[in-house]
Amino acid sequence: MKHRRRLLVAALGVGVALTAACTPQAEPPVRVVLITLDTLRLDSFLGSADRPGQMPRLRKWAERGRVFELYYSSTSTTQPTHATLLTGLHPWEHGVPRNGKVKARIAEGSDPARILAKARGLYDGDVSYLDGALDRVLVQLDEDREEIETHVLVVSDHGESFGEGGSVGHGRRLTTEQIRVPCFGLSPRVAPGVSVRPIGTTDLTTTILSLAGVAGEAPGGRDLVDRETEPARVVGMRRAFDRITHERRIDGSVHVLEGLRFYVLDGQDLVTGNFGRAGRSREGRIGPAALRGVRGAVHGGDAPLARR
C-alpha cells in the first residue's frame, strides 16, 4: 500500500511537470517608447565633413538599431509636427498648422558671423548635455529588455538654421537644415543598419502602432518594420501665418511670408512652392510635375487647410 502510494505521488509529480512544460509561456509585455528631441539638427547627431557631431553616446545606441538618414519632418515647427506624429495626419488635416509667434532674427548693425558663432556654441553645449541625459534613459530601458519587449523610436521634431540660406531659427522656411533631422529606432523587430529610404512623420505614426500591435488603426503612412514597403513621396508644409509677415535675413534682405507653402521630397529631390503657384520659388525650384505631386498629397488639391 505504501509502495503504491509512492508510485501515485511520483506519477502526479510527472503529470504536473508535463503540464507545466506544455503550458505556453505568457508573452512578455510590450513597451513602445517615443523620444522626441526639440530643434535637433542632423549634423549635430551624425556630424558633417567640416563639423563633428556632439552626440557620441547617442550615435553608439543608434548603431545598434536602424538609422533613417532621409527622415523629413512634416514641418519646421514643434506643435504641428507633434500633432502629425501623434495622429498620423498632415498639418493641413489635423488642424494644428502653427505654433505661437516665431521670433528669431539678428538686429541691424550687428555682426552676424560673431552672433551666429556664439549661438551655435550655446546650441552645441545643450546638445552635448542632452547626449548624456539620453544615454542614461536608454541604459535604464535596456536593463530589463529581456523581461519587457522594448521598442524605442528617437526623432527630432525639426532642425534649426544658423545662417544657411540667410536664415536664423526655424519655422519660416522649409530648408534641409530645418526639416531633415535625426531619426532612429531600437527594436527586436527592426533590423539594424542604415536606411536611405525617404520617410516622413506620418510613417512613424504607422510604425509605432505596428510595434504596439495595432497597425490597423493608422490613418496613413508606411510601416517601417516592413522593409519591403515601396518608397513614396514625402510631403509637408510650412507653419501657417495669421497674416502676411516678413523675414529679415542676415544679408539685410526682407522676404514676404504669405500663402500656404508645401514641400515634396520625390526621391532625394526636395522642392517647395506655394499651393496653386508654379514656376520659380525663392525657396527652391518647383515645376508643374512637382506641384501636381503637392496637390495630389493634399487630397487632390480640393481639401481646404484645416485651421484652429
Domains identified in the chain and CATH numbers: 27-226 (3.40.720.10)
State the pairing for strand pair 284-286/279-281.
Answer: antiparallel
**Predicted local distance difference test score (pLDDT) of residue 24:** 55
**Predicted local distance difference test score (pLDDT) of residue 285:** 41
Q: What is the pLDDT of residues 188-217, one digit of tens each?
A: 999 999 999 899 999 999 999 999 998 777
What is d(CA 55, CA 41) in angstroms, rounded to the nearest whole number? Answer: 11
**Predicted local distance difference test score (pLDDT) of residue 3:** 46
The stretches in the chain having pLDDT less than 50 are 1-23, 276-287, 290-291, 297-308
**Predicted local distance difference test score (pLDDT) of residue 136:** 97
**Predicted local distance difference test score (pLDDT) of residue 243:** 82
H runs (alpha helix) in 23-159: 42-46, 56-63, 78-87, 91-94, 112-143
State the pairing for strand pair 269-274/245-248.
Answer: unpaired
**Predicted local distance difference test score (pLDDT) of residue 289:** 52
Q: What is the pLDDT of residues 175-190, one digit of tens each?
A: 999 999 999 999 999 9
Phi, psi of 195 (to 5 degrees): -105, 135
User: Which pTM does this prediction carry?
Assistant: 0.81
Contact by Cβ (8 Å): 65, 182:
no
**Predicted local distance difference test score (pLDDT) of residue 13:** 36
